[in-house]
Amino acid sequence: MLTISNRGNLMPPSPIRKLVPYAEAAKKRGIKVYHLNIGQPDIETPKPILDAVRNSDLKVLEYSHSAGNESYRRKLVTYYKVVGIDVDYNQIIITTGGSEAILFGMMACLDAGDEVIIPEPFYANYNGFAVAAGVTVVPVTSVIENGFGLPAIEEFEKKITPKTKAIIICNPNNPTGYLYTKEEMEALRQIILKYNLYLFSDEAYREFCYEGTHISAMHLKDVDENVILMDTISKRYSACGGRIGALVTKNKLVLDAVMKFAQARLSPPSFAQIAAEAAIDLPADYFNTTKAEYKARRDLIVKRLVAMDGVICPTPGGAFYVIAQLPVNNADAFCQWLLEKFEYQQQTVMLAPASGFYGTAGLGKQEVRLAYVLNLNDINAAMDCLEKALLVYSKKQP
C-alpha cells in the first residue's frame, strides 16, 4: 500500500485558510462574508508597478540569474539605504516570496533535528517551513496582558539547548501587530552573541509602524554574521500575488549555501521582478497615504472591539493585525459557527482562530486574529456582525 511521508503527515494545515469551505458555503446561501481572516490588503497595487509589466517588451521570457536580476538587486540596495540598512547587491538573493526566503534560510543554516526558538503567537507557516526543513520549533510565550511584548530574555534562555541554532522574529509582528522596541532588539542581540545563534528577522511589515520606530535586525551592531533578513514586496506594495521576496545577509557562507538552493529552483519569477523593480521608483511619500489608511483602520477596529463586553484587545504598533481575546470558550468553534449558523442582515464575518498561531498546545483558545485589510465602512459592518454574534453566542455556549 502506498503511504504518505512522515513529513507530509506532519505538515500542518493553514489555520488562516481552514475555514474557507464554511465561508464558501455561506456565500452560496447568499450571505456576505467580511474577510478579516487573511492579510490580503484591499489597497490597490500601485499603477506604475503593473504598468511596468504591461509595457515590458520581452521577446523571450527567459530565466533570470538565480539570485535575481542584477538591476533589481542594485535598486534594492538604494531602497535599503533609505531605511538605514547598508548592504551590497551581492548580499541579496531574490526569492519566490518571503516564504521561500524563510525556507531557504532554515535549510541553509539548520540541520534536521536542530531547534529554533520563536516568540508565540507566531506566523503559522513557520511551522510548515520547519517541518519541510526537519527543524523543531520551540515556542516562548508572549502574552496579551502586555500587548504581546518580547518575552523576558530569561524565558529564552530556559529554552536553549545544545540543539538550539536560531531565533526567529517577525517585526512588526504577524499575528499580533507588536512592534519590537530598541531595548528588546538589543536584548536579542545580546542573546544571539552569548549563545552564538542566528537571528532570522522577518520584516514583511517594515513600512507599517504607527507608533515608535522600526528597528531592523540589520541595524544591530557586531552581529553581521548572525543576522538573516527575510523580506517581501507582498504587503509593502499590496502585491501578494507577485511572489517576490528577498533573503539578505552579510554572512558569506550562508549566501553561498542559499545560492545553491536558489540555483536548484532556477530563478524567481521574471515579470514579478520587473514589477518589484518599478516599485522602488514610487514617490518617496507613497507610504504616507497607505500608512495613514491602515492606522485609521487600526484605530477603528480596536475602538470597536474594546467597546464589546468581555473583549480584550491591545493596540498594536505595526503591521495590520490585531489579536483579540473574546468571551468564548473555544474560538475555533465560534469562528466556524459564525460561518455555519450566524448571519446579521445577511452578513457575517470570517476570523482566524488564534490557537493555530501558538506552538504550545492549549494556548490561544479564546483568541482570534483580525486583519484590518478592509475599508472603514466594511470594518464597521464586520464589527456590527461580531458584536451581535457575541451576544447571541453567549446564550448558546455552556
Question: SS3 for the chain, per residue?
Answer: CCCCCHHHHHCCCCCCCCCHHHHHHHHHCCCEEEECCCCCCCCCCCHHHHHHHHCCCCCCCCCCCCCCCHHHHHHHHHHHHHCCCCCCHHHEEEECHHHHHHHHHHHHHCCCCCEEEEEECCCCHHHHHHHHHCCEEEEEECCHHHCCCCCCHHHHHHHCCCCEEEEEEECCCCCCCCCCCHHHHHHHHHHHHHHCCEEEEECCCCCCECCCCCCCHHHCCCCCCCEEEEEECCCCCCCHHHCCEEEECCCHHHHHHHHHHHHHCCCCCHHHHHHHHHHCCCCCCHHHHHHHHHHHHHHHHHHHHHCCCCCECCCCCECCEEEEECCCCCHHHHHHHHHHCCCCCCEEEECEEHHHHCCCCCCCCCEEEEECCCCHHHHHHHHHHHHHHHHHHHCCCC
Residue range(s) defining the domain that contains residue 116: 47-279
Q: Is residue 36 part of a domain?
A: yes
Q: Are residues 126 and 223 in the same domain?
A: yes
Q: Are residues 343 and 261 in the same domain?
A: no
Q: Is residue 255 part of a domain?
A: yes
Q: Are residues 129 and 237 in the same domain?
A: yes
Q: Are residues 223 and 312 in the same domain?
A: no
Q: Please tell me the total count of domains within the chain.
A: 2
- Looking at 253, 279, 305, which one is the last position of a domain? 279
Q: Is residue 1 part of a domain?
A: no
Q: Is residue 171 part of a domain?
A: yes
Residue 16: the pLDDT is 75
Residue 171: the pLDDT is 98
Q: Are residues 252 and 303 in the same domain?
A: no
Per-residue pLDDT tens for 165-193?
999 999 999 999 999 999 999 999 999 99
Q: Are residues 16 and 83 in the same domain?
A: no
- Looking at 246, 279, 312, which one is the last position of a domain? 279
Q: Are residues 112 and 233 in the same domain?
A: yes
Q: Is residue 223 part of a domain?
A: yes
Q: Is residue 52 part of a domain?
A: yes
- Looking at 259, 279, 299, which one is the last position of a domain? 279
Q: Is residue 110 part of a domain?
A: yes
Q: Are residues 267 and 323 in the same domain?
A: no
Per-residue pLDDT tens for 338-386?
999 999 999 999 999 999 999 999 999 999 999 999 999 999 999 999 9
Q: Any idea what the CATH number is for the domain that residue 58 is in?
A: 3.40.640.10
Q: Is residue 96 part of a domain?
A: yes
Q: Which segments in the chain show pLDDT lower than 70?
A: 398
Residue 14: the pLDDT is 83
Residue 398: the pLDDT is 66
Q: Are residues 170 and 274 in the same domain?
A: yes
Q: Any idea what the CATH number is for the domain that residue 313 is in?
A: 3.90.1150.10
Residue 395: the pLDDT is 86
Q: Are residues 114 and 245 in the same domain?
A: yes
Q: Are residues 36 and 53 in the same domain?
A: no
Q: Are residues 245 and 333 in the same domain?
A: no
